[in-house]
Chains A and B, each alone.
Chain A
Amino acid sequence: MDKTPRTLPRQSWTFSNEVNSEIRRAAETGIYDIRGGGAKRRVPHFDDLLFLGASMSRYPLEGYREKCETGVTLGTRFAKKPIELKIPITIAGMSFGSLSGPAKEALGRGATMAGTSTTTGDGGMTEEERGHSEKLVYQYLPSRYGMNPDDLRRADAIEVVVGQGAKPGGGGMLLGQKITERVAGMRDLPQGIDQRSACRHPDWTGPDDLEIKILELREITKWEKPIYIKVGGARPYYDVALSVKAGADVIVLDGMQGGTAATQDVFIENVGQPTLACIRPAVQALQDLGMHRKVQLVVSGGIRTGADVAKALALGADAVSIGTAALIALGDNDPKWEAEYQALGSTTGAYDDWHEGRDPAGITTQDPELMARLDPVAAGRRLRNYLNVLTLECQTLARACGKSHVHNLEPEDLCALTIEAAAMAQVPLAGTNWIPGKGI
């Protein structure tokens, strides 16, 4: 026997098992990988920030005794009927079609109990969500599926979608398995086709046109409804400045970790900026225009905890919005379905083939049997509980920083654990007074 010592088998970092499996998948199928969810790569995030807390120079507030307010009003610039929310956390737009009717109902129930709003998505407004959402934001998307003036008038706000963090510059996708009779009917499409919705609006290009489009939407709805503009995290300073110019009441800014129902993996992982990197330039644009707090900023993309909420607010957001976390609260990727995830070639926490419509948790599907697994009442309660926890956590941190309203949190309450996060959030690296890029 050869006694020469052998080195351990060494896997390549560049050609990892994961990378190789994608090469094999591509070679087999000839098509890019489509999946749901947001960017899975690690990017600088709220985890890389810490609150300093109160000390000699800052007074904390007494937990449970001294009030820490959480209310937020969206749409104070032009709308006659701004939206009043009890908590600074909204439910993001997720299309009916990608989600089942009961899932939309559960989102409406949970959001309403927690005192916040929910949002429609590509594919139009359903009775499930209008009926169960006290405050409903109606998305105005390039596809205009199901768009009609009656739903515009019965919405509480209108969100013009220019882009999404998961795919700035990309359109929608809903594959044949999910284009059931109901979904096809709402979208005026043949059943069972692989549907791609447009990435650009059909009847306007650029902020000057958008300003006129917003005038039209306001005229149709008697200037009552707040008009939001949603942008993906591409060029936040200019996107926000131009949204203000176009007449937005509210700007929704969605960073690259933001979820999607179905998009090419290459798009999700390689386009757009991390949420953390988007907030300060956006706030700067509002401040430069004298519009901070007048045009409200809602930030989304990877919000999971009350700490994330508090940090986003401290960096200058007026509210945050959640998609993926809300689905997990309803029951998405729950370990109780592990055997079924395995059968689908996935595992709890990693299941993202939402476009296939075979979701064991019954959320991202149009299959009647799977859909029936989600009880909208119980799932709505879970979402309410989760939203309450986020709010309590956010208040806990705000009180520790001595704030009587969560909006009083500020960048000065934060430090960063990494140089990258310090540069992006423009707060000092922990233990220093150094903000990279600020020349101090």
Chain B
Amino acid sequence: MPSETGVKTLDMSAMELREINETLQSAAGSNEAFEVTNTRGAHAIAVGLDAPIHVTVKGSTGYYCAGMNKQATIHVKGSVGPGAAENMMSGTVIVDGDASQYAGATGHGGLLVVKGNASSRCGISMKGIDIVVHGNIGHMSAFMAQKGNLVVLGDAGDALGDSLYEARLFVRGSVKSLGADCVEKEMRPEHLKILADLLEKAGADAKPEEFRRYGSARKLYNFNIDHAGDY
């Protein structure tokens, strides 16, 4: 139902999930705006969108909110369950609260911003997505991360970047431990530039110079018996 501002409200207490996703998936106009209300922790809200629309999710969600997003801007005014914005291709997902496990998992593109903390395995297997977490991230984050940037304003848990490929990890706070083949790397001007850009896009109040960069030592790229203990 269009309100005065042109924002259509999709009320989850009155509509089925299928109907809500169908409405969002078939919206094509770049100025279309929606709000999803009464989310009550439902799973798979606003998944598979493929147009530059704006969706505000009012409340907390279950698993896989904004999964496989393309083009859309999805703003969750609450916290999200596991796998938020998993496999995102493009667009922007902003979470005002906290994110559970696997936020941004396998994402290929786009920007995921978590204003609170993200739990374990944030950015696992990421393939090009940019993730900015204003708070802390849990253990095993960026496990097997292939491409893209993970920016953390707070601290990182155990085994950051285990078995990392080419993703860049930037952490402002402490890192409890680094995973196999993940090492601290020199912060060069091009990295400061990437970081400044991401911090601005994510509305984060931090200076690029305050961060450290971590990346792959590339020792596990080709099997070498002398490194067998690291696998």
Contacts and interface: CB of A to CB of B under 8 A. Distances in A.
A222 B87 CA distance: 18
A213 interface: yes
Most A CB atoms within 10 A — which of B50, B87, B165? Answer: B87
B105 A188 contact: no
A188 B18 CA distance: 32
Given A144-B106, A194-B222, A203 B124 contact: yes
B225 interface: yes
Contact of B147 (A30, A188, A193): A188
A190 B166 contact: yes
Interface string A29-56: 1110000000000000000000000000
A213 B67 CA distance: 10
Interface string B62-78: 11100110100000000
Given A31-B225, A148-B68, A212-B64, A219 B108 contact: no
Contacts of B106: 144, 147, 202-203
B25 interface: yes
A215 interface: yes
Contact of A198 (B48, B63, B70, B125): B125
A203 B62 contact: no
A68 to B, nearest CB: 40
B52 to A, nearest CB: 15
A212 B43 contact: yes
A216 B106 CA distance: 15
A176 interface: yes
Contacts of B82: 203-204, 209
A139 interface: no
A204 B100 CA distance: 12
Given A149-B50, A188-B127, A194 B223 contact: yes
Interface of A: 29-31, 143-144, 147-149, 152-153, 176, 187-190, 192-194, 198, 202-204, 209, 212-213, 215-216, 219-223
Given A149-B89, A215-B43, 17 more contacts: A31-B225, A143-B125, A144-B106, A144-B127, A148-B89, A152-B48, A152-B68, A176-B222, A188-B127, A188-B128, A198-B125, A202-B105, A203-B64, A209-B63, A212-B62, A213-B83, A221-B48
